[in-house]
A and B are shown apart, each in its own frame.
Chain A
Amino acid sequence: MSERTRVRAERFGAIAELVRPRALVFVDRAFARRLGVESEGWKADPTGDGALGARPLSAPIEAHLQLTNRCDAGCQGCYTGATPHGAPGEWGPVEWKRAIDHLAARGVFHLALGGGESAILPWLGEVAAHARARGVTPNLTTSGLAGLDALVSIAHLFGQINVSMDGIGPAYAAVRGSDRFAEADRAIRRLRAVKREIGINVVVTRVNFADLDEIIRYARRRRLNEVELLRFKPAGRGAATFAGLTCSDAQHRAFWPTVARAARRHRIRIRVDCSYTPMLVHHRLDRKLLERLAVYGCIAGDFLVGARANGSLSACSFAPVAPGRPKLDELESYWEREGAFGPFRTWREADEPCRSCEYLTLCRGGCKAVALHVEGDATRPDPECPRVVDFRRGRPGRIRLPVAI
């Protein structure tokens, strides 16, 4: 694998990829020039220098590809509603490799491959190797419940592999609806035996919130390199189970202190998904630090895009197919189109209480998938954001003091 730095010009300067340590670095124009990058567009736009976030990127940094919607696990909260039969018109390796060529030409850095259960695809390794050859790093999420033998043999092709693990022992069944903890645990152990970059994805629900510390301890015990915490989303079968599984308001407010304590206690890297940004900024974390870590809320249709198993383009995996129903390999022409990705790019026109929130340019109104489901309108503020909850209870401006962890 090449370890040369890949650099992509942007309006604000450039994005450069580091392999060791793994990082995407956003730099201004002067720094970009020192890396040998120059853009014709900079002269005509002198105010854009360093203005990260002022406009959408020139292309996503990451694409989330649902390679198939086939999966027999039948999890009650599956956000894609995966079935053993998959979706009509699913793409095969030829179409995905062509789309990866297109993404590579646009300067996309990373892929997150998922499903369904992509590990069952006999051509998964072929697609991952193709991405590698194009300079795009493929990463993978798997349930660990199918296709494990084949996956172990191609694990080296991926940058990071995470196994879905929403609870330890019987708690796994309480969240996912079937008792397959032992199988998922076996998959983690087998993958970890051949690769260091193995982690777990944990969908946080009101059922397993109290077990987060135990789950993170489990990851440490299995010598995993990260835990990624995901907010429950009302998509696919998750739409029907959302009301019963989404965290309570009290749990959302306790999320950051809980995670911070567990990270310190167990000394393991923890990642939180973009939809948790409202729950982070609720604790008035250092705004400058959040900016420097590029911690954003909804960056769908900007930093990331999704693609369904039939190649249909969406702002993110939870979003409806983009207006005009473009395919992933039409990304270049669609990206600059007026109204592209509909409500996912209109966060600057947010309603209160987002409009007056000092974190709006970072949080961007929270998760639009949740707003769409609960409010019927993706442009509305995230209804689970503590600030929004307080505003609607008639307590606007309630402020949490910084929490000492």
Chain B
Amino acid sequence: MLEIYPGELDVEVIFAKWRKWGANKNYGAFITFVGTVRKEGGIEALSFDLYKPILQQWFDEWQERAKERGAYLCMAHSVGNVPVHTSSYMAAVFSPKRRVALELIDEFVEDFKANAPIWKYDVKNGERIYARDRSQKIEGSGLLDI
């Protein structure tokens, strides 16, 4: 399940919803990852844009990989401004046993950083500044630079 929310995530509500979803499905492991905006570099908030059609495809491909291992993925992400000390990203894995969940949460979150079509901006004095130096080119970038 992929969920997009405007502004900061309500972590407790999302966590409770996911846990309830998995409660009767005989999963032995449930691992969550929560990304929180740190106060650094004078920012007030981070801000995000995303492109849902390709994000959904990317997520669906991961869900298929998870399914092959008997697991299930959940993800929630913000669009727009997310103030410091609040959360913009949650991911979770349900699996029958712990080992698959531990491996998948690592692989999924790392690939999310590299390939999910989401753009991050620092917010300083109300201005959005693209976080270019922390961003990664998607695999295959530069195709039109001929």
A and B from one assembly? no
